[in-house]
């Protein structure tokens, strides 16, 4: 379906865990994480922890090995492949980081299904240490979302607005958007979806709770999903 754009969150949507916590726990840095958490923004914290792990002798391969065993529901994998095979334009919009996301997608043979990954940038420095930067440089200029549910380093609503403008500009045709997410940061983009769009919040997670507080604020049709077998891989291809 060339007229359908499917936007996936990553943590607890494509994979069944938070990738940052998964790496921190898997590499034995949980105590340090808990100690530093009250002192700095989340995105800065993960970058700092990557530096601490590197100083302890942990390599980029160690990080990647942990990511490759992150749990992923086979029904989500099936949904991604089905939507891609139908011709949908699939994109990732996540507050994780590029290295984590690409490592997981490559491992499961899914990276080629996605035309775009919108996330916090990452790179490996000259010392072999993974660096993670904010998607939006909030130290220089706040993103001024104003909703109160977006982290300082990324307003997903603003990113979704840019994505819509970009895909519309390609051929001038309006696209139908389907958005899948779980966290409070996914609430802002849900409010920017149009009447012909679909919002698929993960039931029982923060975005679902926020939507339920005042469902009338959303224009898009809401279709929750959960861990139930076959829910997401049957619903998503049906909407496309």
- If DSSP codes are grouped into helix, strand and coil, which group holds residue 18? coil
Does the pLDDT value for residue 80 go beyond 90? yes
pTM for this one? 0.93
- Predicted confidence at residue 174, as pLDDT, reads 85
DSSP string, 44-62: HHHHHHHHHHHHTT--HHH
Residue 73 bears catalytic tag: no
Residue 11 bears catalytic tag: yes
Sequence-ordered strand ranges (E) for the chain? 4-8, 89-97, 114-120, 122-124, 130-132, 176-181, 198-201, 221-222
Q: For the domain bounded by 4-16+72-119+140-239, which CATH number is listed? A: 3.40.50.1000
Is 197 annotated to bind a ligand? Reply is: no
Does the pLDDT value for residue 228 go beyond 70? no
Catalytic residue among 11, 95, 197, 233: 11
Is 186 annotated to bind a ligand? Reply is: no
Is 182 annotated to bind a ligand? Reply is: yes
Does the pLDDT value for residue 191 go beyond 80? yes
- Predicted confidence at residue 69, as pLDDT, reads 98
Catalytic residue among 9, 18, 197, 233: 9
Does the pLDDT value for residue 198 go beyond 80? yes
- If DSSP codes are grouped into helix, strand and coil, which group holds residue 34? helix
From CA 101, how far away is CA 107, in angstroms rounded?
10
Mean of the pLDDT values across residues 181-201? 96
- Predicted confidence at residue 212, as pLDDT, reads 97
* Angle (CA) 27 111 26, round 5°: 10
Does the pLDDT value for residue 12 go beyond 70? yes
Window from 41-45, 139-143, 227-231 with minimum mean pLDDT: 227-231
Report the mean per-residue pLDDT for the chain: 91
Q: Percentage of the chain surpassing pLDDT 70?
A: 92
189 compared with 76, residue with greater pLDDT: 189
């Amino acid at each position: 379906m060339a007229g359908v754009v499917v936007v996936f969150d990553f943590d607890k949507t494509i994979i069944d865990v938070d990738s940052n916590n998964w790496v921190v726990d898997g590499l034995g840095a949980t105590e340090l994480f808990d100690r530093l958490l009250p002192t700095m923004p989340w995105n800065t914290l993960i970058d700092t922890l990557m530096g601490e792990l590197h100083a302890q002798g942990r390599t980029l391969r160690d990080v990647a090995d942990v990511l490759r065993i992150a749990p992923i529901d086979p029904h989500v994998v099936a949904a991604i492949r089905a939507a891609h095979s139908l011709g949908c334009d699939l994109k990732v919009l996540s507050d994780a980081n590029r290295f984590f996301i690409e490592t997981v997608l490559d491992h499961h043979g899914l990276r080629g299904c996605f035309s775009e990954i919108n996330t916090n940038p990452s790179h490996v420095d000259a010392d072999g240490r993974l660096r993670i930067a904010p998607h939006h440089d909030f130290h220089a200029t706040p993103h001024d979302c104003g909703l109160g549910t977006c982290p300082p380093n990324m307003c997903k609503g603003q990113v979704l607005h840019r994505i819509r403008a970009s895909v519309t500009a390609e051929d001038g045709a309006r696209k139908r958007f389907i958005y899948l997410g779980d966290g409070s940061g996914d609430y802002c983009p849900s409010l920017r979806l149009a009447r012909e769009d679909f919002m698929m919040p993960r039931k029982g997670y923060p975005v679902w709770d926020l939507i339920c507080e005042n469902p009338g604020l959303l224009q898009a049709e809401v279709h929750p999903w959960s861990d139930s077998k076959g829910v997401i891989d049957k619903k998503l291809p049906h909407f496309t």
